[in-house]
Structure formats: structure tokens, C-alpha cells
Amino acid sequence: MRELAANLWIQRGGILVARISDWPASPELKTLASDAAPLLQQLSDDDATLQSLRDQPHGGVTGLLDRAVTWNKGRHVGADRTRTAGQLNPMLLEMGRQAQEITLAEADVIRSQALAAESQAQQFESLARHASNVAVLDNQEVQLRSDSESEMGFDALYTTAYLQTYGLPNVSSPLVPKRGEQAVVTVPATLARQRTRRSWVGGSSGFSFPIGRTGIRYRVGSFRGHPVEEQFLARIDSGTFVVTNQRVAYVGQAKSTSTALDKLLHVECYQDGLAIFKVGRETPDFYLMQQPKYALFMINWVLNQAASG
């Protein structure tokens, strides 16, 4: 559309130059028209020459040579026309735009068309900029979501937007709900707790040996060494880890746990599970599971909801 508008202003400028005596031109525009007029005439002559060459008949065997001569001449005239147009068009473009207020019947329609083309070009450019900005934002969001999924193991940005729009999900769980309680996360998990293992190192079992031929054996005593304590994680039970809008719970085959949100002291996240610390207890319960970061995300979300509510 920009190119179309420019061509229309050039066309209008050509009309104004050709009819410079029919409208009140400023001294600057008269000088511009004076410089453009011979180039405009040269362009018209080149067009007439090219048309004449195209109209010439070239029949028979001798016409082959005539066509070659005509083609060569047309090539030179076309090159000359291109050079002339390169000098002329900027002048006509300036003339057409600077003399927008001038009224000439045949030039007025072209002015309206040029202005309409420029207006459409501005609209298209505005749409293009908007689309480009949207594309940049989309690319940034895709990158952020990709980074989030790589770091968290799930699309945390999408999950956040979903929760903000639709609220907490209501999923089924083996937990018997309290009044107003809804489960938001249920995942298979293994309950584990810290245990201490004691072992003895540096001890000796002792030995005995005979003394000469007396038949008497001399015995060296044994000792146990010193004890070493080792902490390890003992798997207690397997079941389901549940996060609700009121508590964090575990329902297992042999054991179950339940901690109200306001009794949570601290939660540590590991690659393969969560450690839940609660008020009044020094050691945590460990819940081994897949995607512990998602479970922790939902715990944080319900805690924030409870705080804001």
C-alpha cells in the first residue's frame, strides 16, 4: 500500500508539472516543476519510442535481422528510460505531496486515492506491529513455560492461570472428608521415617595359642571396639498422599497421618519426595512420590488461599 500511494503521488505530480500554468504554484514548486519538465518530456519520448518499436512489423527472413536491431535499440531506450525515471520520480513524488491543497479535476481523484492508500498502509502497519508484539509476547510465554516445565516438572504457569480462573480442583481420594473439605491432590506415595542403625567398629574376636609342650594355651581377650550410629530412611508403608483445602494427609495400608494446614511447620522438597515438619514434633515424616514439586506447589497454593481467606 505504501508503494501504491507513492505511485499515485508520482502520477499526481506528473499532472501538476504538465499543467504548472493552471494553478498558483509557489516559487519552490515552480523551480521543481522547471527541473522536472524536461525529464518528464524525455520519459514521454522514451515511451513513444518503445511503443513504436513494438508496433513495427518484422516478417519474412529479413525480419530476423530487423527484430535483432529493434531489440537492441529497445534495450538501450529502456535503460535510458529507467535512468530518467530514477531522477524524475522523486521530484514528482515531492510535487504531488507538497501541492496537496491544489485543486485540479484530473488530479483530485488521484489525491483521494493516494490518501486512502496511505491510510490503509498505516492501518496495516499498526496491525503488523500489534501482531509482531503479540508474537514476541507469545514467544516469551512459550519460553517461560518451557523453562518452568523443565525446572518444576510441570507447566506451573498454566497451572497458576487455571487455578486463578477456575479455582481449586476437586479430585477423588481415599480420605474421608471433613465438612467443607475437598481434595486437590492425590498421588501414590510411600511413608518413610528416619531410623538409627548402630554398629561396632575397631573390635577384635581374640585368639589363643599353646605354650611350649606344657599343653597350656594362652588366650588373648576380645573387645567390641566402639559404636557408630548411622541415620537411614526406613520405608514404613505404601499408600496415597493427599492435599486438601484443610490439611495434608496420608492414607496407607497400615498407617495413616493427618496434619492441619495451621499445624504445618515446614516442608522440604527433594527430587523424589517431601519432608513434612509439623508443630510439636522434631523429626519429619517423609513421603516418597513422583512430582513432589507439584504436590508442594499445591500445598503452597492452599496455604495462600487459607491466609487470604
CA-to-CA distance for 296 and 305, rounded, in angstroms? Answer: 14
pLDDT category of residue 251 using cuts at 50, 70 and 90: very high
pLDDT given for residue 107 in this prediction: 87
Across the range 268-285, mean pLDDT stands at 93
The radius of gyration of the chain from alpha carbons, rounded to an integer in Å, stands at 46
Across 54-70, average pLDDT? 65
pLDDT tier at 241, thresholds 50, 70, 90: very high
Neighbouring-strand partners of residue 232: 195
What is the enclosing helix (H) or strand (E) of 143? helix 105-152
Q: What is the DSSP letter of 252?
A: E
Pick from 91-95, 132-136, 206-210, 292-296: least confident = 206-210
* H or E element in which residue 187 lies: strand 183-201
> What beta strand segments (E) does the chain contain?
183-201, 207-211, 216-220, 226-244, 247-252, 256-260, 264-270, 273-278, 285-288
CATH 2.30.29.30 in the chain, residue ranges:
170-200+225-308
Q: What would the mean pLDDT of 200-217 be, rounded to a whole number?
A: 58
Rounded Cα gap, residues 291 and 50, in angstroms: 78
Statement: residue 246 has pLDDT above 90: yes
| All cell numbers assigned to 116 | 486512502
pTM above 0.75, yes or no: no
Residue 59 is predicted with a pLDDT of: 54
Tell me what the mean pLDDT of segment 51-56 comes to: 80
Q: What is the CATH number of domain 170-200+225-308?
A: 2.30.29.30
Q: Which amino acid is at 22?
A: D
Q: Which comes out higher in pLDDT, residue 222 or 227?
A: 227
Instruction: Write out pLDDT tens, residues 132-191.
Output: 888 888 788 778 788 878 888 898 888 999 999 999 999 999 999 999 999 999 999 999
Which percentage of the chain shows pLDDT scores above 70?
Answer: 87
Confidence of residue 199 (pLDDT cuts 50, 70, 90): low
pLDDT at 235: 94
Cell of 124: 496495516
Residue-wise over 60-71: b if at least 16 C-beta within 10 A, else e? eeeeeeeeeebe
Judged against a pLDDT cut of 90, whether residue 75 lies above it is answered with no
CA–chain centroid gap for 136, Å, is 7
Task: List the one residue out of 80, 89, 88 whose CA is nearest residue 8.
Answer: 89
